[in-house]
Structure 1
Amino acid sequence: MERGVIDRFEDETAVIEVDGTTRDFPRASLPNEAKVGDVVVIDNGEIRLDRQDTSKRNSEINRLMDELFE
């Protein structure tokens, strides 16, 4: 099982950062609601969203931005 973050979409390809490197996956293999910045779990070729980690990651990014722009 691996964890990654959706970096971008290029046509029908999803580029996901896993352990500091990017890997390409067919966009169709992701859930329809997947978007850039979402945390995903890759398990035996199945990709699912990790909404809890995505929420934590977004909260941390917002906190850091708030500190930066104070």
Structure 2
Amino acid sequence: MERGVIDRFEEEIVVIEIGGVTRDYPRSSLPKGAKSGDAVIIEQDRIRIDNKETSKRKKEIQDLMDELFE
């Protein structure tokens, strides 16, 4: 099992960052509604969204933005 973050979409390819390295996967391997910034869990070519980690990352980013613009 590996954990990563969706970096970007390029046509039918999704680029996922895993431990500082990016890898390409077919866009069709993602669940519907997946978007850039979502945390994912990759298990044997099956990719699923890690909703808990995605929410945690979004909160951390929002907290940093709030600090920056105070």
Band of TM-score, shorter chain: over 0.9
CA distance in 2, matches of 1:44, 1:7: 20
With structure 2 as the length reference, what TM-score do the two structures score? 0.98
CA distance in 1, matches of 2:29, 2:43: 12
Give the 5 Å matches for 1:50-65: 50-65=50-65
With structure 1 as the length reference, what TM-score do the two structures score? 0.98
Alpha-carbon RMSD: 0.5
C-alpha offsets along residues 10-41 of structure 1, whole Å, 9 cap, x if unaligned? 00000000000110000000001100000000
| Segments ≥4 residues shifted beyond 3 Å | none
Structure 2 unaligned regions, length at least 5: none
Q: Taking every aligned residue pair, what percent have the same amino acid on both sides?
A: 64
C-alpha offsets along residues 23-70 of structure 1, whole Å, 9 cap, x if unaligned? 000000000110000000001111000001000000000000100111
Structure 1 unaligned regions, length at least 5: none
